[in-house]
Amino acid sequence: GGKTLYLTNRGQKIFYEEYPLAILRKQKWDGNWVIVSYDFPETLKTQRDYLRRKLVSLGFGCPQKSLLICPLPLHRGVEELIEGEHMLEYAWILRAERVLGLENREVAKRAWDLDKLNNLYRKLLEVLPRIKSSKDRKLKSEWEKLFLAVDLADPYLPVELLPEDWAGEKCQREFYRRDFLAFLKGFFSS
């Protein structure tokens, strides 16, 4: 609802304990992919779908069917998940510097459809000046909802994997600028 939350050092510590992926995303990429490949028989479709949903929720992308990848060092956690769910016979975990014989940016582009996401960020930036100068509450609300939806879909990949013309960072900077947050706060409180 337009509120801003500022965390103390203690609050940040608690946040990172609850959401460990957030701290991993802040670290410099080590250049290795975690790759999970699986081959479940049709009789275990439920387990296959569960594993896929769980990995996608952790930030894995899918460049090919039955192959999920992630730049975060999650191999130990994924291994524990696969062991705990008794899926060792059907799923394999690998670490590699390259995937599919492609450049890393191309792999990321295929796994997360970064071109589409980049275009959405560009469109948000393109209309932002009009949104800021508009008095139309509905229009401003729709822009904010669209930004938050696009931002939620962003896998927040390391810079090395993003397209060179990545508009996401600029769009996020514009959205999180104090003056724009104040503008939204005033907009939602009036």
**Burial of residue 5 (number of CB atoms within 10 Å: 0-12, 13-18, 19+):** exposed
**pLDDT 10s digits, 109-160:** 999 999 999 999 999 999 988 888 888 888 888 888 888 888 888 888 888 8
CB 105 within 8 A of CB 93: no
* Whole-number pLDDT of residue 119: 95
Residue type, 24: L
The proportion of the chain whose per-residue pLDDT surpasses 70, expressed as a percent, equals 81
The CA distances from residue 126 to 6, 24, 188, in Å, are: 29, 31, 22
* Whole-number pLDDT of residue 13: 64
Confidence of residue 72 (pLDDT cuts 50, 70, 90): confident
Q: 38 forms bridges with which residues in the sheet?
A: 91
CB 93 within 8 A of CB 78: yes
Token readout for 176 is 């999180």
* Whole-number pLDDT of residue 80: 93
Looking at beta carbons, which pairs linking 49-58 to residues 24 or more positions away fall under 8 Å?
50/85, 51/81, 51/82, 51/85, 51/87, 51/91, 54/81, 58/21
Question: Which DSSP letter does residue 167 get?
Answer: -
Task: Output the pTM of the full model.
Answer: 0.75
Confidence of residue 177 (pLDDT cuts 50, 70, 90): confident
